[in-house]
Amino acid sequence: MIGAPLTVPARLLPSVRLRRRVALFAASIAGLAGLFLYLHVDPLILVSDFHYVTGVIDEMLPPNFRLLWVKPSIWQSLVQTVSMAFLGTLVGAGIAFVISVLAAGNTAPNGAVRLVVRTLLATERCTPNIVVLLVLLIAVGIGPFAAMLSLCVGSVGMFGKLFADAIEQVDPAPGEAIAAAGAGRLQILRYAVLPQVLPSVVANSFYAFDVNLRAAVALGVFGGGGIGFEINVARSVLRYKDMFACLILVMVMINLMEHAADFIRKRLFSLEGELR
Amino acid sequence: MTWNGYSLARYGRYARTVAVLALLIAVAAWQCEVSLSDLVRGIVKGLSMLSLFLPPDWSAFSEMVRPALVTVVICLIATPMGAALSIVFGLAGARNVAPAWLRMISRSLIAAERGLPEIVILLILVAAFGLGPFAGIMALAIGSVGMLGKLVGDAVEEIDARILDSAAAVGATRLQVIRHVILPEILPSMVSNSIFRFEVNIRASVLLGAVGAGGIGFELNAAINQLEYSRATVAALTSLALVFLSERVSDYLRERILTGELA
């Protein structure tokens, strides 16, 4: 093999790789610039207008925690936000469970019902929360009730499908066994299907509560009440110190709720055997 | 003691749980101002208003195309920005790359961010940059760091220590280890997570738009505030289609990445 020319595929040559990388980099920069141009936004205002950001931060500091005793309704608005998430999750999960029975292949009365329910659930999942809220605000009026209902609708979309999938994956043997012993449809659901899906239903509901709590803050901004509403009010009257205090409260609340949910979940699942 | 075959001995021990739950529900319902009469009235009112929302005013659709594109473009800019930021925060939050004090700072910033909904971040940014797409872009980019930064940090920490040691043993500096060992290792999952985040951002940006970040959410909110309900229906349907499409595209791309076709 002496004298055989050493050939390296061109794509492995350092110069080619470098050129390709530079081209890719340039292309993505150009693409990004194009996108900014499309929006008529100058990304450099991040640098040139940064003093506004520091200005706002200056305005926000220190957070005005005096709010907590000067304006005790803040506490109520926190409770309100948690309540919205709690009820929305609970009612939503309940409705989702009933609906998922109709959407699961092995429990639905027939294929047509299953298809219709599945399509409705898919449509709901594609609908942004805000659309549901805006419609509900018109229907039941501004306030926490509208926000709770829209969280409820959102939870049904989120969990109807998950629950239905869980039901479709249950082991058919127990159901067939008690059907052979003469169990009716509802009895099969209660004694063969429910025990098998309950752990996943409960676990998903805890997750839903976590998602819904954040959404409850967001929906409050649009007139759903609760702490989100307080934040928006404080911002629109330029009381940034109050707003910052509320923000910290929100973070603390979300953290506390996460820990509380974890604690309850652990206790529940240590009882899991008994739950069945 | 039995009632209809249900014995007190069997179900009685749930009594306390049920009582606590009932109490919680009662308090929550009172706080949320739940009222069945409002619900019934709302349903009746909603049904009677259906004629205002329907049929959709399709002539408005041509005016919805650009806002929809603006929403997509906002997410197209914000997601890569967030991904790049989250690589920085993720590396700084990984035990095997960063010193303990840096990890602490980065991890608590990421956790704090995850505790704040995007809309709250947007409200702060709007105070600084004013209404418009730029505040929306920044809010979504920062919002992405909460999720992606944690994922990157966890993925880096899971890298086999022997791989890092062997790179260091041949004399690689920390930057070289990051560039030639860590980045290639986390890149596929990073791309896949970012695509998922894009989908999440599309949903979020409809909401942010309603506050004033522009795009389809803004059109929707404006149409409802101006009582042009049949126009609002078109905006709602457009945003629905947008979310649906982004979900399909994201599912398709992530499946391709997962199976290694698009590596």
Kindly indicate the confidence band of residue A240, based on its pLDDT and cuts at 50, 70 and 90: confident
Mean pLDDT for A259-274 is 74
What are the two backbone dihedrals, phi and then psi, of residue A109, each rounded to the nearest 5 degrees?
-60, -40
pLDDT digits (tens, 9 = 90+) for A72-116: 788 888 888 888 888 888 888 888 888 888 888 777 777 788 888
Distances in Å between the alpha carbon of A136 and those of A28, A133, A152, B182, B199?
Answer: 42, 5, 11, 48, 25
**B 69-88: CB under 8 A from A:** 69-70, 73-74, 76-77, 80
CATH of A67-275 given 2.30.30.240, 1.10.3720.10, 2.60.40.10, 1.10.3430.10: 1.10.3720.10
Distances in Å between the alpha carbon of B143 and those of A145, B135, B188?
Answer: 27, 12, 21
- Domains annotated for chain B, with CATH where assigned, are 2-52 (no CATH), 58-258 (1.10.3720.10)
Number of A:B CB contacts under 8 A? Answer: 162
- pLDDT score, position B263: 47
- pLDDT score, position B83: 92
- pLDDT score, position B1: 52
- Residues of chain B scoring pLDDT < 50: 263
Q: Do B117 and A217 touch (CB under 8 A)?
A: yes
Distances in Å between the alpha carbon of A228 and those of A202, A221, A251, A264?
Answer: 27, 5, 12, 26
Closest-CA distance of chain A to residue B189, Å: 20
Distance from C-alpha of B43 to C-alpha of A136, rounded to nearest angstrom = 9
3-class DSSP state of B2: strand
Tokens 């007190």 belong to B8
Q: Do B33 and A145 touch (CB under 8 A)?
A: yes
- pLDDT score, position B235: 86
Distance from C-alpha of B217 to C-alpha of B210, rounded to nearest angstrom = 5
**What's the gap between Cα A198 and its chain centre?**
21
B210 vs A130, A232, A247: nearest CB: A130
User: Among all residues of chain B, which has the CA nearest to that of A49?
Assistant: B129
pLDDT digits (tens, 9 = 90+) for A181-225: 887 888 888 888 888 888 888 888 888 888 888 888 888 888 777
ipTM above 0.95, yes or no: no
Closest-CA distance of chain A to residue B158, Å: 24
pLDDT over threshold 50, residue A276: no
Distance from C-alpha of A115 to C-alpha of A43, rounded to nearest angstrom = 47
Stated pTM of the model: 0.78
| Other Cβ atoms closer than 10 A to A15 | 8
Distance from C-alpha of B79 to C-alpha of B125, rounded to nearest angstrom = 17
Closest-CA distance of chain B to residue A101, Å: 24
pLDDT digits (tens, 9 = 90+) for A158-173: 888 888 888 888 888 8
Distance from C-alpha of B68 to C-alpha of A225, rounded to nearest angstrom = 29
For the four alpha carbons of B216, B217, B220 and B226, in that order, the dihedral sign comes to negative
pLDDT digits (tens, 9 = 90+) for A54-80: 777 887 778 777 777 777 788 888 888
AA identity, residue B113: E
